[in-house]
Structure 1
Amino acid sequence: MSDKVTVLVAGSWGTALACVLADNGFQVSLWTRTSEQAAEINTNHRNDRYLPDAELPANITATSDLEEAMKGTAAVIIVAPSKAMRDVCKQLKPYYEHDMLCVHATKGFEVGTLKRMSTVISEELEMPDQDVVVLSGPSHAEEVVKRMPTTVVVAAANEKAAAAAQTLFMNEEYFRVYTNRDTTGVELAGALKNIIALGAGLSDGLGFGDNAKAALLTRGLAEMVRVGTVLGANPLTFSGLAGIGDLVVTGTSKHSRNWRAGYMLGQGKSLDEVMDSMNMVVEGVRSTQAAHDMSRHHEVQMPIAEQLYRVLFEQADPRTAVEALMGRDPKNEMESMKLETWKQWHA
């Protein structure tokens, strides 16, 4: 087996995962769209646009030539933004071989089709959906590159593929990896929690305090479980690393770009102003659009996602959106968690 692993693309999370792989002794080829970024990484061992002040291991080599990046590699790790995933996979197709391990670490949906990233990858690379591994969990790139303790999950219906990914990424000093067979649940949790993190940031931006944010995160988790089970996910996945773990870290941390975007919205900035000021992709914005369409298509109630959609895309006042949530008809908490679905999975 080759000791070369390829990572696409050289954003913050792709670069952080490349560092984990390099620390594990692999020769890492990091593909970037620009020769300037490749030169910076190769010459200075830095990627200052996305991870300022982080020194990258010497066994990471960057290139803007995808054929060169893929030549002789044993595994490809795809960390492209959701809106670019299909295009990146089209470019990858001529160089991908079916004995290569394929892992993706993108948390989002393809807007329009509402497809998960593993589905997009399997379609474009013409590989079985069950062989695509998804890596997810509470993991800020800014902390991973500093070798701070981090725990994630890799999921695939193909248990051998998941185990191979676990072996690839496991680092006993700071990067622990669990496996899971519920690819659907892990992907849905990773994408949907970004919506709730936007809401948490918006709540903080409005100055509503910890009570409001705790309620929003808890009821947001209920929405994630509700839509997840309708789409075939195991509800227990949402109580794990990809679900509540990632929800907590994304909805409460200064490192979270989704929280920061929501906070700025709560401070009165428009969506255009927020997006112009961000240096990186805010997946929660596109995921909110997808969830809005998903809730209607599957007839699933997602009141938090619905109100965020109104703020993001219909210029609704954030305070009015919160009032709409607080003024909803009285509910039974357990009934809204779809107990019959939980019983089905426990049977």
Structure 2
Amino acid sequence: MPAKKVCIVGSGNWGSAIAKIVGHNAKGSNRFDPIVNMWVFEEMIDGKKLTEIINTEHENVKYLPGHKLPKNVVAVPEITEAVKGASILIFVIPHQFIGRLCDQMKPHIAQGTIGISLIKGIDEGPEGLKLISDIIREKLEIEVSVLMGANIANEVADEKFCETTIGAKNEANGHVFKELLQTPNFRITVVQESDTVELCGALKNIVAVGAGFCDGLGFGDNTKAAVIRLGLMEMIAFTKLFCKGQVSSVTFLESCGVADLITTCYGGRNRKVAEAFAKTSKSIEELEAEMLNGQKLQGPQTSAEVFKILKKRDMISNGSHGRGGGPQRKRRTMNGHLERREQLKRLSLDSSLVGYMDANKCIEELLKQLEEERRNVRR
């Protein structure tokens, strides 16, 4: 059987950290082609092309400075050239660009190619929720798994221990990805509830924005803990309502669920920018440009998509809807620093992500399901 050629679609902070793992594992396995292509959106850095810097210095000096990439990771500026001959695709780009990129890739995708999405976001489709993995699956006509977990990119690149979750509807594909991606310090669990895993990765960014508001407003750790707990309950409620497949409560106890939520609410960029948003009169776009070195926030965009999905189903509570008409209007009306702080205080204290299920009822349901699942395991 010929070795499987891998292409990483994306080269930001997270994409470069994953490239470090994939390059090392591919080089040490007969199952994978040792040369790993990494598609890079071309940029000029101090007069030099970013792809040239990566291929000569073996470092992504813009998005993952201080970390050497394996020499077998090759930066390619043209997406059609990067995916040529690849049988494994790893998607790690901002979710708002995935549709257009897949359209460019489609004529160059070989039959039997499989993909895995590390993209944390969702989209709005004609029938409501549209998962990023579904967009890839439909546009490229390939099987797609997902990887989500408590994985801050710099810590993964530093080889600090962490866990992650692969959601794979095709179990064999899940184990191929596990072999490609697992290291002694990057431990992987494979589950079949791919949709649940993916929604956890997307929705936690909204909760992280709320946690950042708490920090920026000086609400304290007790309030922040309440926001995280309520956010988790509403993530579960949203997933159970919109997920087409099975939703098991135990999946939320994997790294993709509660662990990723905690990490993001304390160490992620959505939290950091939301804190600055609450403390200043600057817009999200200004803070993103100032603080993220070219990276994109997922929380505000995902929040806007969730709002549209819920509004379409007439599931926006009167309280939150009446105070602003959605994320876009709120952003336009928050002109003064003091006015913004007062609006954020009201928003943090009495609005909700989903607004249709009481969080205490949801946690009672979660505990009942966990107990039932434990009984089934004992049998």
What is the TM-score of this pair, normalised by structure 2? 0.81
> What's the CA shift for 1:212?
1.2
Aligned: 1:160 with 2:168 = no
Structure-to-structure mapping, 1:52-201, within 5 angstroms: 52-111=65-124, 114-127=129-142, 131-172=143-184, 174-201=185-212
For the residue of structure 2 that corresponds to 1:56, the secondary structure is coil
> What's the CA shift for 1:106?
0.2
Aligned: 1:33 with 2:41 = yes
1:54-94 per-position Cα deviation (integer Å, ceiling 9, x unaligned): 12111111111334322333311111211000111111111
Maintained 8 Å contact 1:5/1:28: yes
CA distance in 1, matches of 2:164, 2:369: 27
CA distance in 1, matches of 2:341, 2:173: 44
Q: Which of 28, 47, 50 in structure 1 is aligned with 2:63? A: 50
Who is 1:19 aligned against?
20
Aligned: 1:263 with 2:275 = yes
CA distance in 2, matches of 1:333, 1:218: 9
CA distance in 2, matches of 1:101, 1:184: 17
Pair 126,341 (structure 1): closer, same or farther in 2 beyond 3 Å: farther
Aligned: 1:326 with 2:349 = yes
Name the amino acid aligned to 2:151: S
Name the amino acid aligned to 1:97: A
For the residue of structure 1 that corresponds to 2:41, the secondary structure is coil
CA distance in 2, matches of 1:12, 1:55: 13
CA distance in 2, matches of 1:313, 1:105: 31
Q: Which moved more, 1:32-41 or 1:16-25?
A: 32-41
Larger radius of gyration: 2
1:150-178 per-position Cα deviation (integer Å, ceiling 9, x unaligned): 21111121111112111111112x11111
Equivalent residues, number: 340
Q: Which of 221, 224, 235 in structure 2 is aligned with 1:210? A: 221
Structure-to-structure mapping, 1:225-240, within 5 angstroms: 225-232=236-243, 233-240=247-254
For the residue of structure 2 that corresponds to 1:46, the secondary structure is coil
Aligned: 1:224 with 2:247 = no
Maintained 8 Å contact 2:163/2:187: yes
Unaligned runs of 5+ in 2: 28-33, 44-48
Pair 73,302 (structure 1): closer, same or farther in 2 beyond 3 Å: farther
For the residue of structure 1 that corresponds to 2:158, the secondary structure is coil
1:279-317 per-position Cα deviation (integer Å, ceiling 9, x unaligned): 311001110001112223345568999789375465373
CA distance in 2, matches of 1:252, 1:299: 32
> What's the CA shift for 1:101?
2.2
Maintained 8 Å contact 2:86/2:110: no
> What's the CA shift for 1:103?
0.8
* Aligned residues: CA RMSD: 2.8
CA distance in 2, matches of 1:332, 1:117: 28
Maintained 8 Å contact 2:117/2:144: yes
CA distance in 1, matches of 2:124, 2:65: 31
Pair 244,304 (structure 1): closer, same or farther in 2 beyond 3 Å: farther
Q: Which moved more, 1:336-345 or 1:188-197?
A: 336-345
Aligned: 1:317 with 2:332 = no
Maintained 8 Å contact 1:112/1:290: no
> What's the CA shift for 1:40?
0.9
Who is 2:31 aligned against?
none
Pair 223,300 (structure 1): closer, same or farther in 2 beyond 3 Å: farther
CA distance in 2, matches of 1:160, 1:214: 38
Pair 59,37 (structure 1): closer, same or farther in 2 beyond 3 Å: same
For the residue of structure 1 that corresponds to 2:60, the secondary structure is coil
Query: What is the aligned-residue identity percentage?
Result: 29
For the residue of structure 1 that corresponds to 2:71, the secondary structure is coil
Maintained 8 Å contact 1:229/1:235: no
Name the amino acid aligned to 1:75: I
Maintained 8 Å contact 2:320/2:347: no
